[in-house]
Structure 1
Amino acid sequence: MSSIDLNELKRRMDGAINAFKHDIASLRTGRASANILDPVHVEAYGSRVPLNQVANITVPEPRMLGVNIWDRSMVQAVDRAIRESNLGLNPIVEGQNLRIPLPELNEERRKSLVKVAHEYAEKAKIAARNVRRDGMDALKKAEKDGDMGQDESRSTSEKVQKMTDDTIVEIDRLLQDKEKEIMQV
């Protein structure tokens, strides 16, 4: 039996796709999404914590985010964290709630978001290729050690390559969808 676990390689390649999906979900498009605030960390109780650990984030309207802060003493810290997050957002404070209107995206901002999406895609493809490399190295070693014959090694190596190609096709498809979504006015 081969000493290379194709399921493990598949799991790791799926991991690259899932990480990419998470990265592009945080890219702001014309529609509001609670994921936009994922990168925001708040100074709370002596440490930096993700925003979603001190507040509920809602999407009451397509171009508006709502942030309901659990502890009244945290309102200023949350407001400051969102303003300083480089997301270009200006919260409106209403008691323990923040309303965050999402500005229209201009052409320049859309293009820079597409560029960031491409960087995320490249990172995901590199991760998938690294998984392939690990698999191919394991195959060569198994063949060299006599744990696997040449035919089995070649056939398994073709499966690993197909898995890699499929992963990269999926990343490209997700990137295209995100690009359309970003450029949609």
Structure 2
Amino acid sequence: MNEEIDFILDAAKEGMEAAISHLEREFLKIRAGKASPAMLSSVLVDYYGSQTPLSQVANVNTPDGRTISVQPWEKNMLQEIEKAIMNSNLGFNPMNNGDMIIINVPPLTEERRIQLTKQAKAEAEHAKVGVRSARQDANKDIKDADVSEDLQKNATADVQELTDKYVKKIDDFLGMKEAEIMKV
């Protein structure tokens, strides 16, 4: 094949991979019943005047499937961390024992599971939009490329094949995440 076409296909593949990796990161934030340090990844703490991710001011662990423990590196940060967790709208009620913060993760209700499934579907749809956008860009670049019509047709078919492959990957990820969320 032509070098220009190979470059376009590689760029499309890269864009589709980026959509998949973004989806994986978003799925980590959607909790599926068991505690995970990733649940607190969006929490920002006021650390001496600047908003800092929780993971940079404390050690976040999961001693068991229903508990998250937050051990700050500086004792005087306990109140700030507790306040940041409460203000983060994650629905957690942190308990401060003077040494560390303990968060009990409540079991999911059926209604909450359905909400989380809808959220997962929305994230999967965003990823599909990213894949389709990469396809659209690649097809436009192929059309603008200075190559024969046959080569353009073959390249467009290759892009569609890539798109189908990545959309199937997204559907598979979504299926696994839905099963994980709905498992009681």
Q: Percent identity?
A: 39
1:46 aligns with 2:84: no
The 3-state SS of whatever aligns with 2:45 is strand
CA distance in 2, matches of 1:163, 1:182: 29
CA distance in 2, matches of 1:107, 1:84: 25
Q: Which residue of 2 aligns with 1:16?
A: 19
- Runs (5+) with no aligned partner, structure 1: none
Q: Which residue of 2 aligns with 1:133?
A: 136
Q: Which residue of 2 aligns with 1:59?
A: 62
Displaced runs of 4 or more, over 2 A = none
Kept in 2: contact 1:70–1:96 (CA 8 A): no
**Structural mapping, 1:95-174, within 5 Å:** 95-142=98-145, 147-174=146-173
Q: Which residue of 1 aligns with 2:93?
A: 90
Q: How many pairs does the alignment contain?
A: 181
TM (norm. structure 2) is 0.95
Q: Which residue of 1 aligns with 2:39?
A: 36
TM-aligned CA deviation for residue 166 of structure 1: 0.7
The residue type paired with residue 167 of structure 1 is Y
Query: How big is the alpha-carbon RMSD for the aligned residues of Structure 1 and Structure 2?
Result: 1.0
Kept in 2: contact 1:2–1:148 (CA 8 A): no
Kept in 1: contact 2:45–2:54 (CA 8 A): yes
CA distance in 1, matches of 2:52, 2:122: 26
Q: Which residue of 1 aligns with 2:28?
A: 25
The 3-state SS of whatever aligns with 2:60 is strand
TM (norm. structure 1) is 0.94
- Runs (5+) with no aligned partner, structure 2: none
